[in-house]
Structure 1
Amino acid sequence: GYGKQVDWIEMHLTLPTEPIESLTRVSDYVKKRKKLHVVNMGDKPLKELINDMFLLYNRAYTLFGMIPLTDAQIAKYVSEFRPMVSKRTTSFIYTDEGEMVAFGICCPRLDRAMQKMKGRTVPFGWIHLLKALKGKNDTVDLLLIAVRPDLQGQGVNAIILDDMQHKLIKAGVRYAETGPMLEINDNILAQWERFKGVQHKRRRCFVKSL
């Protein structure tokens, strides 16, 4: 019969109403020690930021089931991602020499907007989508977080989380939904402990030996 090969889990997070000071202290320490800094949208051309992001994605995601993006796919996703990202929902971490070493991307949750659209973007469905992306929204979806492999496990993710907590709290966001996370990826799972994470979804890959 079929048996489990691997699980992916998803979590519902409750964000603090005030920044977590211990996270800020760790972030400041790692930035100083590793000579890193946050780059915001507007500091660099958006196309350059997104291109750097997907190049890093290929280096950082080498776990089960991940396939590197081709140059053509990166070019395609650069154009597709541009409308989805904003300064309040992105965090890009660079070295002082100008190399991206980590990033975090989230976007406002769109399920309610999709329901109001009823499957139609015209004539007025796009308005609901635009309001969800640019207006007030108390929930975000965490799309991607990545750290350059040689810096993983060295606290760099704290810089992303600290930057994002300040931006999201300021924007009035209260909750976050993670994407699927490999159950054996302890580094990713551990970073959500500060945010009252509750596992609420699980996906499983079943296999059968022939």
Structure 2
Amino acid sequence: MSEIVVREVAGRRELRRFIKFPNKLFKDVPTYIPPLTSDEVALLSDKNPSLDHCQRRLYIAYRDGVTVGRVAAIINHACNERWGHKAVRFGWFDFIEDYDVFNALFDKVVEYGRQHGMDELEGPLGFTDMDKECWAIDNFDARQNTSTLYNPEYYIRFVERRGLTVACRWQQYKMPANQPVPDKVARINELILKKYRLRLLTFKHRKEVYPYARKFFHTLNDSFSGLYDFVPLTEKEIDVYIKEYFPFINLHFTNFVVDEEDNLIAFGLSIPDISGAYKKANGRLFPFGWFHILRALHKFDTIDLLLNGVHPDWQKRGVHSIYYAEMNRNAIRHGVTTAYTNPQIIGNEAVKIWSTQYNTTPLMQRAVFSISI
């Protein structure tokens, strides 16, 4: 068999080859959603603000001059300092069904980690928790969205063969978005609002949301602080995410809860399902990708429950139910029939409302894997 050659990515042309490889690998997979090439370039280039506290190296594997795999080796120094470990991450890890190719790329990540004093390897993870992370470990053909990773079954087979074990598990759910808000939930939510003098914000104009944009990310930092390997977003990263997310959010599905001093204490942010539009765009905004995406943002019957959280000072007081119920009501008002959650860490008490108070169907489990190196 021909030799596998693994090279560090050099130059813009090879970066684009790195980015587009999974589009070719999974071109016949109906559930694979190609990311926008422009978004991937921004993430993987030197302009990414996460590089203030991360370092990375990108590798491509070739056989007979043909691309057969890729991987990013990432060291998040802020994460290692916060959680007290010395870990190198793998991300953007895709490869043909060939264990030798997998091993050649994996060895490069191990080598990179050891060179920089790391003694643990984990992944798939990105630079921040806003990047795509965790692989499916069951129901591999289930529906994907634009913020989740697609992987075939052999990825899991190969990492387990290499000796990696599950470090953390996530669960995704599917649910009818138009199911009535339970009367008991509605009554309790009203009592919570009155008891704590809280307000549920609704928005008619986009300019009304922007004063809360930075507050939103600060509350996200606080509410996610105890989750697996989470590192608070920096102000530079928040600047990028405000620019990236807020021009496109749907006001009907942006639900913020504030206290009597206008502090944002809880949030639920959902977006229209644009996975089909991304599929049609195939990584390109032009000439017609923008049209498919714009249309999907305005004409939809499915939503993705993208981000939700409660400030630690307000957790275990039932506040999360307030924005869940409001998203539920808005789904009914706007003809949305189906909702999908993003991956939720199994055992996270804050998300048990999905399975205890609403009619949900488990969609798939996901996992991050780790191994000592």
Quote the residue 1:112 is aligned against: 276
What SS does the aligned partner of 1:68 have? coil
Q: Output aligned runs, 1:34-73, within 5 Å.
A: 34-42=196-204, 45-62=208-225, 63-73=227-237
Which amino acid is the alignment partner of residue 201 of structure 2? V
Tell me if structure 1 keeps the 8 A contact 2:320–2:350.
Answer: no
Q: Output aligned runs, 1:22-171, within 5 Å.
A: 22-42=184-204, 45-62=208-225, 63-135=227-299, 137-171=300-334
Unaligned runs of 5+ in 1: none
Aligned residues: 209
Instruction: Name the CA distance, whole Å, in 1 between partners of 2:370 and 2:278.
Output: 34
1:188, CA displacement in angstroms?
Answer: 0.9
1:190 corresponds, among 353, 358, 370, to: 353
Instruction: Name the CA distance, whole Å, in 1 between partners of 2:320 and 2:192.
Output: 10
Tell me if structure 1 keeps the 8 A contact 2:178–2:336.
Answer: no
Tell me if structure 1 keeps the 8 A contact 2:217–2:238.
Answer: yes
Structure with max Cα Rg: 2
RCO comparison, higher one (Cα < 8 Å, 6+):
1
1:84, CA displacement in angstroms?
Answer: 2.2
Query: Is the alpha carbon distance of 1:186 and 1:131 closer, same or farther for their aligned partners in structure 2, counting shifts above 3 Å?
Result: same
1:113-142 residue CA offsets vs partner (Å, 9 max, x unmatched):
12232333222221111111122x111111
What SS does the aligned partner of 1:114 have? helix
Which stretch of structure 1 is more off in the superposition, 3-12 or 119-128?
Answer: 119-128
Instruction: Name the CA distance, whole Å, in 2 between partners of 1:116 and 1:206.
Output: 32
1:16 equivalent in alignment to 2:184: no
Q: Among the aligned pairs, what percent are the same residue?
A: 28
Query: Is the alpha carbon distance of 1:131 and 1:20 closer, same or farther for their aligned partners in structure 2, counting shifts above 3 Å?
Result: farther
Which amino acid is the alignment partner of residue 290 of structure 2? W
What TM-score, normalized by structure 1, do the two folds share? 0.91
Which amino acid is the alignment partner of residue 12 of structure 1? K
**CA RMSD between the two structures:** 1.8
Q: Which runs of 4+ in 1 moved over 4 A?
A: none
What TM-score, normalized by structure 2, do the two folds share? 0.53
Which amino acid is the alignment partner of residue 336 of structure 2? V
1:87-133 residue CA offsets vs partner (Å, 9 max, x unmatched):
21110101121111101000001111122323332222211111111
1:42, CA displacement in angstroms?
Answer: 4.3
Unaligned runs of 5+ in 2: 1-162
Which amino acid is the alignment partner of residue 338 of structure 2? Y
1:173, CA displacement in angstroms?
Answer: 0.8
Tell me if structure 2 keeps the 8 A contact 1:105–1:145.
Answer: yes
1:156, CA displacement in angstroms?
Answer: 0.3
1:177, CA displacement in angstroms?
Answer: 0.8
Which amino acid is the alignment partner of residue 286 of structure 2? V
